């Protein structure tokens, strides 16, 4: 493991007492000749909101796919609640309480809000669906979470982007997710709708029973709700700090400096 010696894990305080719900250690993943992740270690504390920030192609999506069981790492180990696990499928990860809200939301536009909330977890009185119960429970749950839709019976197609995102988050929480991975929750969303989603995350934090990883490339807004920030660049984590000890400015500087260095290298090689 020489790579480990050369690139020490840049955690603020490695091994420091952190009430961990999730730890992914020394994760590496390559697609053919392309190395997407190189010895990445990520930790998530109970009730924490972690911002996983990086440019497009930095490896955030790969890391997320590994954490939610969609793909398997080439090496490394994943520890959930102190127990090492092998995430072989999304279903298995979900059974462990790891749920993901994808950028494309994985909602079915043609189905109603409550059918989407219960997708693949339907209440059934064989052979028929218990639509009335599902409608009632979905409504209760959305009200409790402060998510407001015209009716849980309307097709998701008729909702706005922010509402759809909120439904997707509510669905994951509803499924008893302990660890929620939000993939670019603010992408393609207006400022107001983005603010609503951030409020929803704040609410989750206040409730304290869900830990959240927000994956984003635009960190300005996300930083408001994060307790801690991990910056991922070229498949490695180059910064791990509590949000209070960093700033948008610092993150900007790091990314810009990296960009400059890359430009200089390119010029030198030419």
Which segment (30-38, 90-98, 234-242, 258-266) binds another protein by CB under 8 A? 90-98
What is the smallest separation between the CB atom of 247 and another protein, expressed in angstroms? 26
Q: Which of 34, 124, 248, 257 binds another protein (CB under 8 A)?
A: 124
Q: Which is nearer to another protein, 213 or 255 (CB)?
A: 213
Q: Which is nearer to another protein, 119 or 254 (CB)?
A: 119
What is the smallest separation between the CB atom of 192 and another protein, expressed in angstroms? 6
How many Cα atoms are found within 13 Å in the side-chain-facing hemisphere of 186? Answer: 25
Strands 228-233 and 49-54: parallel
What is the smallest separation between the CB atom of 19 and another protein, expressed in angstroms? 28
User: Hunting for tokens 């219960």 — which residue is that?
Assistant: 118
Beta-ladder partners of 181: 100, 213
Q: To 5 degrees, how large is the angle CA 202–CA 106–CA 29? A: 85
DSSP 50: E
Tell me if residue 233 falls in helix, strand or coil: strand
Distance CA 78, CA 58 (A): 20
CB 217, CB 59: distance < 8 Å: no
Which segment (32-40, 160-168, 232-240, 251-259) binds another protein by CB under 8 A? 160-168
Beta-ladder partners of 79: 23, 84
CB 220, CB 194: distance < 8 Å: no
Q: Which is nearer to another protein, 85 or 102 (CB)?
A: 102
Count residues binding another protein (CB under 8 A).
Answer: 45
Contact partners, residue 220, CB within 8 Å, separation at least 6? 248
What is the smallest separation between the CB atom of 44 and another protein, expressed in angstroms? 21
- Which x/- pattern, by CB under 8 A, does the window 180-219 give for another protein? ------------xx-xxx-xx--x----------------
CB 197, CB 225: distance < 8 Å: no
Q: Which of 29, 43, 60, 94 binds another protein (CB under 8 A)?
A: 94
- Which x/- pattern, by CB under 8 A, does the window 164-183 give for another protein? -xx-----------------
Q: Which is nearer to another protein, 68 or 231 (CB)?
A: 68
What is the smallest separation between the CB atom of 90 and another protein, expressed in angstroms? 6
Q: What is the DSSP string of 19-47?
A: -EEEEEEEEEEEETTEEEEEEEEEEEETT
Tell me if residue 75 falls in helix, strand or coil: strand
The residues of the shown chain that bind another protein, judged by CB under 8 A, are: 90-91, 94, 100, 102, 104-111, 115, 119-120, 122, 124, 127-129, 131, 146-150, 154-155, 157-160, 162-163, 165-166, 192-193, 195-197, 199-200, 203
């Amino acid at each position: 493991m020489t790579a480990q010696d050369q690139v020490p894990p840049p955690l603020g305080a490695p091994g420091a007492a952190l009430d961990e719900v999730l730890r992914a250690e020394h994760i590496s993943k390559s697609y053919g000749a392309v190395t997407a992740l190189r010895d990445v270690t990520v930790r998530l504390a109970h009730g924490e909101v972690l911002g996983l920030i990086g440019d497009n192609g930095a490896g955030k999506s790969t890391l997320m796919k590994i954490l939610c069981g969609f793909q398997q790492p080439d090496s490394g180990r994943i520890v959930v609640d102190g127990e090492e696990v092998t995430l072989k499928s999304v279903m298995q990860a979900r059974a462990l309480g790891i749920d993901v809200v994808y950028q494309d939301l994985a909602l079915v536009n043609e189905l109603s809000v409550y059918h989407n909330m219960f997708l693949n977890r339907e209440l059934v009185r064989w052979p028929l669906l218990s639509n009335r119960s599902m409608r009632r429970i979905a409504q209760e749950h959305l009200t409790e979470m402060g998510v407001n839709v015209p009716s849980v019976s309307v097709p998701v197609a008729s909702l706005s982007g922010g509402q759809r995102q909120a439904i997707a988050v509510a669905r994951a929480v509803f499924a008893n997710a302990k660890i929620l991975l939000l993939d670019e929750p603010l992408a393609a969303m207006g400022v107001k709708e983005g603010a609503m989603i951030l409020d929803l995350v704040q609410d989750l934090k206040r409730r304290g029973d869900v830990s959240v990883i927000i994956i984003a490339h635009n960190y300005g807004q996300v930083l408001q709700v994060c307790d801690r920030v991990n910056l991922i660049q070229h498949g490695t984590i180059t910064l791990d700090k509590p949000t209070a000890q960093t700033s948008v400015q610092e993150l900007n500087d790091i990314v810009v400096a990296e960009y400059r260095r890359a430009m200089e290298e390119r010029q030198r090689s030419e």
